[in-house]
A = this chain, B = another copy of it.
């Protein structure tokens, strides 16, 4: 209830920070808050490692002062660089011309000692936080985590920063496609991110006024999708907006899709699920259908106010965790407070869209089809 209880730990003098995993709006806001809180509130010094765990392994680091974080609050990306690769417990190397994976976690420990780092703040998604957990549990490193994912699928926090920005980017895209769909009497299929969880598709679909939303949590049948579109046509609504999460799947997996597109097309050739769905709609309704794949647009841009604030509070909260000696934990949002949770409880637990939840029910009540 009371947020993170700070009992200042006198032995902390110098902390490290890195950003790992996919790009996400708000990373810079976290870094800024870490640096400002560390310096202003606790008189610490801060070291930034470059390009995720790669920097920890290869000892690419630089001191971060307040000057380094001036003006970065509204900027997407991360001044530290990031990457999805470079797991220190499973690090790719070329030995005798062959690619092998080695445990180089001792190098991490070594580099942290070289820099006299008393605590390490790891900003990342499930993958980076799992590595953080392992460094804490196996190597005894004083690690604190900050959860990050535009997919909003971490179970241990009410929301992750980056999601609200991605959601607004996707919603704006629907707004733009809407007028074209209406003017042209077309079907527009928008494929958004979400490999396992359909949060972006569901919420952007709700916010943008989609007619059909397809998410990984609810296997769909093309028959139902087609029916929704033709029902609308019969009511005089000559266009439809279909929002598809990249991980959405038809009932029974990919098979139905493969059968339908047999001779001349296959899913690989057509690209992602958005193109497959679009192709089948054209085939079966005779209406024109167009696909837009947002892709990395969803990871960029200036963060929304919500994401900047959440990221700032996370950054401040992470330094407070460090000073309270709560290692092996990560900050999380329990609305309206910032609290903490053990990394061991947080990683590996995906937060999926509850199929019988409030949101899905509301969406169905206003007539949105999920193809089920």
Contacts and interface: CB of A to CB of B under 8 A. Distances in A.
Given A185-B81, A366-B33, A358 B3 contact: yes
Interface in A154-201: 158, 164, 167-171, 173, 175-180, 182-185, 188
A340 interface: no
Interface of A is mostly: helix
Name the residue in A176, A302, A306, A338 with the highest tally of chain B Cβ atoms < 10 Å from its Cβ: A176
A350 to B, nearest CB: 16
B179 A362 contact: no
Q: What bracket does the count of chain A residues touching chain B fall in?
A: 35 or more
A40 B336 contact: no
B171 A308 contact: yes
A178 B305 contact: no
Interface of A: 3, 19, 22-23, 27, 32-33, 36-37, 40-41, 51, 71, 73-78, 81-83, 158, 164, 167-171, 173, 175-180, 182-185, 188, 203-204, 206-209, 268-269, 271, 290-297, 299-302, 304-306, 308-309, 312-313, 316-317, 319-320, 335-338, 357-359, 361-362, 365-367
27 contacts: A3-B358, A23-B179, A23-B180, A27-B183, A32-B366, A33-B366, A36-B366, A41-B366, A74-B178, A76-B179, A76-B180, A77-B182, A77-B183, A81-B185, A164-B305, A169-B176, A170-B305, A176-B301, A177-B296, A203-B305, A204-B305, A207-B312, A268-B269, A293-B295, A316-B366, A335-B335, A337-B357
